[in-house]
A and B are shown apart, each in its own frame.
Chain A
Amino acid sequence: MTNTIRNKTAIIGAAETQRLGTIPDQSAMQLHAEAGLAALRDAGLTVHDVDGVACAGESPVEVAEYLGITPQYLDGTHVGGSSFMLHVRHAAAAIAAGLCTTVLITHGESGRSRVGMQPWAPAPQSMRGQFEVPYGVMGPPTTFPIGLLRYMKDYGMTPEQLAMVPVVQRQWAGLNPRAKLRDPITVDDVLSSRMVAYPIHLLECCLVTDGGGAVVITSLDRANSLDLPHDPVVILGAGESSESAMVSMMADVTSSRAFRTAGERAFAEAGIKHSEVDHLMIYDAFAHVPIYGLEDLGFVGRGEAPAFIGDGHTAPGGSLPLNTNGGGLSYTHTGMYGMFAIQESVRQLRGQAPAQVPDANISVVLGNGGMFMSAGVLVLGTPAAA
C-alpha cells in the first residue's frame, strides 16, 4: 500500500466533558468547547497551537470561532456517529501532507436535554422521506434492528445470546465509576425489560445522554518534541466507508459492507493481524451492532459472534476485551457515540482506563454512523507498537 499514513501522526490530547448524562445547563456548542479546551489542556497546548478544526453536528467554522481559533484546515465531515473516526483519518493525512500541524476534533451533543439542538426530521423529498419515513419509522429503534430477525433465522442466534451483549458490557461498566449504569444485570433482566421494537428490548438499546469529547492530533515528530505528560497514541492505520442512508437498502441485512470495507483498509494499512489486537471498541447503539462488528471486522466468522460473546471472550478477563468503558449500552451515548469509543481506546493505550486491560499495545475502534450507513475504523497503538 502506498501513501500510507501509518506511524506518522498521533493523538496527543484527549478528554471528555467533566459531566456526562443529563446536562440541562449547557448547549451542544458549549459541550464542544468545554471538551476541546480540556483536550488541549491534556496535551499541554492552547488554542493558539491549533491550526485545524474538525467536528460534526456543529460547523467547524462555528467551533473555531467560538474558541478563538484561526484555522488553516477545516473538516466538517458529518456522516453520523462514525464522523470522528473519519476526522482522525483525514487529520492524519492532512498533517502528513503538510496542510496543517495540529488538529482539534470536537464532539458535543445535548442528546438528552436537547439544548441548542436541531430536531430529527428527514425531508419528505429525501429518499428516506420517500421510501422509509412513510412506513412509520421513528428514528433508530424502529430502523436499526430491522435485519436482526433475518440474522437470527440465518445463523440460529437465540434471544438469550443477543441478551448476553448488554449483560457482558454491564460487567465492564461495573468497573467504571463514570458509567451511567453500573448494577449487574442478567439475561432474564434483559429479556423481561420492555419490548421497544420486537425483537429489541429496552436493555438492548443504548442510553440517550448529554456530553462531549475531543482529541488533538499532531505529527509523531512533533509529539516526540513536546514535553507531553503521557505517551502519544500512535495512529497505525485507518479506514472509512459508507453503504446507504436507508437501512432497508443494505445489500445484506445481516452484515455491514461499510464495516467490512473500512476494517479491511485499516488492518491492511496498519499491517497487523487480528491476533495482535489487545483491545477493541465497537460502536454499540444496539446490542446487535457489536455482533455485526466482530464478524465484519474479521475477528470471527459469519454467525460466530454470538457464541464468541457467550463464551466470555469479550468479557473482563477474556481474550478480546470489548467495549471496556461499558459502551453506549451502559456508559454514555449522546447520539454520535464514536468520540467516546476513541476516548476509551486512548485511555487503554495510555494505561489510564478504569477497567484497564493489561499490556494493551494495539487497540482497534470501529465507529458506526446512522443505521449501518457509514463506518470508520482506527488502529491505534502505543509507541512500542509503532
Chain B
Amino acid sequence: MSEKAAPRPTPDTQPFFDAAARGELSLPKCRDCGELFFYPRSWCPRCSSADLEWTPCSGRARLHSYLINTRPAPGFEDETPYSIAVVELEEGPRMMTNIVGVPQTPEHLVLDMELEVVFDKHGEVAVPKFMPAGGAR
C-alpha cells in the first residue's frame, strides 16, 4: 500500500509541525493586535506585525463542515470512504482535517459535534486530526 502524502514543512510552518510532534496544537498569535491565526505565516495577516508568539491551543474543536470521499487518495485505501472536514478550533481559527475514530457516515458525523485533536504520523511528520470528544464512538 502506498503512503499518505506528508507535508514538507517550510521555515514559517516548522514550529507548527514541531509542536505537533510533541502532541501539541500550536498556532501563531500576534503580540501587537492579538490575532490568533491559521495557517502559519511569518507576519500577522491582520496587521502585518512580525511580533508573533507560538501559542498552545486546547485541541478542542467543533465540526464545521465536511464531505465524505469515496475514491481513495494514496495511503487511504483501507479507510475509504473517509471524511475531509473543516473544523473550528475553540480559539476561533478553522483548518482542514480528517475526523477519525468514528464511522464515516452522515449519521455519525454531525455538524457542530464536539471534537478533540489527535496526531497521526504521515511519514516522519505528525499531522493533526480530530476525533469525537470523550474518545472513540
Residues on A lying within 8 angstroms of B by beta carbon are 123-125, 127, 129-138, 141-143, 145-150, 153, 195-200, 246, 248-249, 253
Residues on B lying within 8 angstroms of A by beta carbon are 4-10, 13, 39, 64-73, 75-76, 81-82, 84-86, 94-98, 106, 111, 122, 125, 127
The residue among B86, B95, B125, B127 with the most chain A CB atoms within 10 A of its own CB is B86
Bound-state Cα–Cα, A142 to B125, Å: 23
Which residues of chain B are within 8 angstroms of A131 by Cβ–Cβ distance?
A: 7, 39, 95-96
Q: How far is the CB of A175 from chain B (nearest CB, A)?
A: 32
The residue among A134, A141, A143 with the most chain B CB atoms within 10 A of its own CB is A134
A-B contact pairs, 11 of them (CB 8 A): A131-B39, A131-B95, A136-B4, A136-B75, A138-B71, A143-B84, A146-B96, A148-B67, A150-B64, A150-B86, A253-B64
Which residues of chain A are within 8 angstroms of B66 by Cβ–Cβ distance?
A: 146, 149
Which residues of chain B are within 8 angstroms of A249 by Cβ–Cβ distance?
A: 39, 94
Bound-state Cα–Cα, A134 to B119, Å: 12
Q: Name the residue of chain A whose CB is nearest to the CB of B12.
A: A127
Bound-state Cα–Cα, A271 to B107, Å: 48
Q: Name the residue of chain B whose CB is nearest to the CB of A136.
A: B73
Which residues of chain A are within 8 angstroms of B70 by Cβ–Cβ distance?
A: 195-198
Which residues of chain B are within 8 angstroms of A145 by Cβ–Cβ distance?
A: 67
Q: How far is the CB of B110 from chain A (nearest CB, A)?
A: 10
Bound-state Cα–Cα, A147 to B75, Å: 25
Nearest first, the 6 A-B pairs at minimum CB distance are: A248-B96, A150-B65, A130-B7, A136-B73, A198-B68, A124-B8
Which residues of chain B are within 8 angstroms of A200 by Cβ–Cβ distance?
A: 67
Residue in contact with B96 in the complex, picked from A123, A125, A135, A149, CB distance below 8 Å: A135
A135 touches B111 (CB 8 A): no
Which residues of chain A are within 8 angstroms of B68 by Cβ–Cβ distance?
A: 195, 197-198
Bound-state Cα–Cα, A136 to B68, Å: 11
Which residues of chain B are within 8 angstroms of A246 by Cβ–Cβ distance?
A: 39, 96
Residue in contact with B86 in the complex, picked from A127, A142, A199, A248, CB distance below 8 Å: A248
Bound-state Cα–Cα, A356 to B8, Å: 52
A124 touches B111 (CB 8 A): no
Which residues of chain A are within 8 angstroms of B82 by Cβ–Cβ distance?
A: 136
Which residues of chain B are within 8 angstroms of A147 by Cβ–Cβ distance?
A: 65, 86
Residue in contact with B7 in the complex, picked from A134, A146, A196, CB distance below 8 Å: A134
Q: How far is the CB of A151 from chain B (nearest CB, A)?
A: 8
Residue in contact with A199 in the complex, picked from B9, B67, B84, CB distance below 8 Å: B67
Which residues of chain B are within 8 angstroms of A137 by Cβ–Cβ distance?
A: 69, 73, 84, 96
Q: How far is the CB of A154 from chain B (nearest CB, A)?
A: 9
A135 touches B97 (CB 8 A): yes
Residue in contact with B84 in the complex, picked from A130, A146, A153, CB distance below 8 Å: A146
Residue in contact with B69 in the complex, picked from A148, A149, A197, A253, CB distance below 8 Å: A197
Q: How far is the CB of A330 from chain B (nearest CB, A)?
A: 23
Bound-state Cα–Cα, A145 to B69, Å: 11
Residue in contact with B5 in the complex, picked from A124, A197, A253, CB distance below 8 Å: A124
B122 touches A134 (CB 8 A): yes
Residue in contact with A253 in the complex, picked from B10, B81, B86, CB distance below 8 Å: B86
Other A-B pairs beyond A129-B5, A131-B7, A143-B84, 6, CB < 8 Å: A124-B8, A138-B71, A145-B67, A146-B86, A150-B86, A200-B67
Which residues of chain A are within 8 angstroms of B111 by Cβ–Cβ distance?
A: 149-150, 153
Q: How far is the CB of B11 from chain A (nearest CB, A)?
A: 10
Q: How far is the CB of A195 from chain B (nearest CB, A)?
A: 6
